[in-house]
Amino acid sequence: MKIALGCDHGGYRLKEEIAAHLKDSGIEYSDFGTFSEDPVDYPDLALKIAEAVQKGDFDRGVLCCGTGIGVAITANKVPGIRAAQCHDTFSARASREHNDANILTMGGRVIGPGLARDIIDVWLESEFTGGRHARRVDKISSIEKKYSCCSRQ
């Protein structure tokens, strides 16, 4: 499994903790930055991660900002991306099993590194269960197609 990892300045410290955890766990990842706490605009980094996952260059993505909200909103603008903001392990598991989330977002100003590691582990170990959930994810995809720029012609 290949993970695309990124953050803004508000999520920098948490992203560094996650990177160390992924490395220690032997999980392949690429760090898209940012690489300091100098202010950057979260949409720029979230878009890079979302596009990398959408293209299939990475299996999943992890994004951090101050709250996890801004990067989730941004990533979810990219067709085929289902970014889920999770600050507990129950939501992390459900986001994979029920929603087939392909990007996890977390807030560096909301949760600590220990909980983030637990969330990452659960999220990476969980798989989409399909069944009735597949029908619902398909409906999300239909909404994306309906409102994409190319289908409004």
Is 80 annotated among the ligand-binding residues? no
Helix count (H) and strand count (E) of the chain? 6, 5
Is 68 annotated among the ligand-binding residues? yes
Is 76 annotated among the ligand-binding residues? no
Is 117 annotated among the ligand-binding residues? no
Residue 46: other Cβ atoms inside 10 A: 31
- Closest CA relative to residue 1, chosen from 81, 56, 79, 54: 56
- Closest CA relative to residue 116, chosen from 64, 52, 71: 64
**Distance (Å, rounded) from C-alpha 133 to C-alpha 2?**
24
Catalytic residues: 65, 98
Is 21 annotated among the ligand-binding residues? no
Is 99 annotated among the ligand-binding residues? yes
Is 89 annotated among the ligand-binding residues? no
Residue 144: other Cβ atoms inside 10 A: 17
**Positions at the binding site for D-ribulose 5-phosphate:** 8-9, 66-70, 99, 109, 132, 136
